[in-house]
Amino acid sequence: MEMPTRIQKPRKPIYPYFYLLPGLTAILFSIIIPGAMTIYYAFTNYSLRHLQDWGWIGWENFEKIFVGSNRGEFLGVFSWNMQWALISTIGSALVGLILAMLLNNKRVVERNFYRVLLILPWALPSTITILTWKGLFNSSFGPINRMLGSIGIAAIPWLSNSTWARATCLLVNIWIGYPFMMSAFLGGLQSIPEELYDACQVDGANGWQAFRHITLPMLRSIVLPLLVSGFAMNFGNFGVIYLLTEGGPFKSPSVLAGATDLLSTYMYKVAFGATNFDYGLASANGLLIFLIVGSLTLINLSMTGAFQEVKE
């Protein structure tokens, strides 16, 4: 029997696209078009001075950032941004790990009570708690300095001295960030079979050895993705710094980049701050943030096997 030369292919139905349509439209208008606009703006002189007659200026904004007038500001902000993300991530991971290990002690019968209290900083809306911290840390009339004063300690410039301000911001950020890490680590710890520790004890290993040879290796699969995604998230953080210090304290002559400014807060002020409204420069900054945060996310996604999932 001769096969027909042309098998009529079943036409793929179009109804799946109707399911996709609402989401795709929203993505188009809120992510893709703004993304394209950001790339375009980054190469223009769109700003308060050129609100009507703005146009293409090539790499000028990037030159300003890397070699020109904004170099000092940018490099200062960038290096603090790196330190900020690194210390915040490692700090909250460490606090989270230690607390998770304490909470994993099954002999402490009321441990769930502590866990519920300890995740409170995550449960509260951070915008509100950051503003609260700002008041508590106020140098002249904040309760913390008042309290220190009552036991004879001189007022600490929590938010008004560059070094102190950085430390305070980190402290608040770790306070916000550790419950997430703690929960993830606790989940990881609880998945380690008890028998491993029993065997370890029979072999006469001490607590540190059990930690090094059982806990850490068993947690390894979650530690790295946690740290990378934490780093990416902290790197792009805005709220903690903007609401606590607005990037300050400031050193003259720069009015835009303060001691605690991150790329995101710096960019926000370049775009919407009272002086410049330099949309082009801000967009160029945005692209740089995207390159850094994006590549970190990419690393994380390939580590956690998201791409494999798609290929299947």
Of residues 67 through 106, those in contact with other proteins by CB under 8 A are 99, 102-103, 105
Of positions 63, 86, 87, 111, contacts other proteins by CB under 8 A: 111
Residue 156 vs 226, nearer CB to other proteins = 226
Of 50-58, 79-87, 209-217, 237-245: span binding other proteins (CB under 8 A): 237-245
Residue 311 binds to other proteins (criterion: CB under 8 A):
yes
276: nearest Cα among 114, 57, 37, 47: 47
Contacts to other proteins from residues 160-179, by CB under 8 A: 175
Residue 125 binds to other proteins (criterion: CB under 8 A):
yes
Residue 157 binds to other proteins (criterion: CB under 8 A):
no
Of positions 155, 196, 255, 298, contacts other proteins by CB under 8 A: 298
Of 53-61, 82-90, 153-161, 235-243: span binding other proteins (CB under 8 A): 235-243
Residue 275 binds to other proteins (criterion: CB under 8 A):
no
Residue 55 binds to other proteins (criterion: CB under 8 A):
no
Number of residues that bind other proteins (CB under 8 A): 97
Residue 242 binds to other proteins (criterion: CB under 8 A):
yes
Residue 238 binds to other proteins (criterion: CB under 8 A):
yes
Of positions 48, 51, 75, 131, contacts other proteins by CB under 8 A: 131
What tokens were used for 41? 């703006």
Yes or no: say if 229 and 300 are a contact pair by the CB < 8 Å rule.
Answer: yes
DSSP-assigned states of every residue in 170-217? HHHHHHHHHHHHHHHHHHHHHTS-HHHHHHHHHTT--HHHHIIIIIHH
Q: Cβ 100 to other proteins, closest distance in Å? A: 11
Q: Cβ 66 to other proteins, closest distance in Å? A: 18
Q: Cβ 232 to other proteins, closest distance in Å? A: 9
The Cα-based distances of 30 to 35, 38, 193, 279 in angstroms read 8, 12, 45, 18
Residue 59 vs 272, nearer CB to other proteins = 272
Of positions 3, 7, 117, 154, contacts other proteins by CB under 8 A: 117
Of positions 51, 75, 94, 128, contacts other proteins by CB under 8 A: 128
Of 60-68, 86-94, 107-115, 212-220: span binding other proteins (CB under 8 A): 107-115
Yes or no: say if 235 and 85 are a contact pair by the CB < 8 Å rule.
Answer: yes
Residue 225 binds to other proteins (criterion: CB under 8 A):
yes
The position carrying tokens 């607390």 is 99
Residue 307 binds to other proteins (criterion: CB under 8 A):
yes
Residues 44-78: b if buried by 16+ CB within 10 A, e if exposed: bbbbeeeeeeeeebeebbbebbeeeebeebbebbb
Residue 152 binds to other proteins (criterion: CB under 8 A):
no
Residue 26 vs 199, nearer CB to other proteins = 26
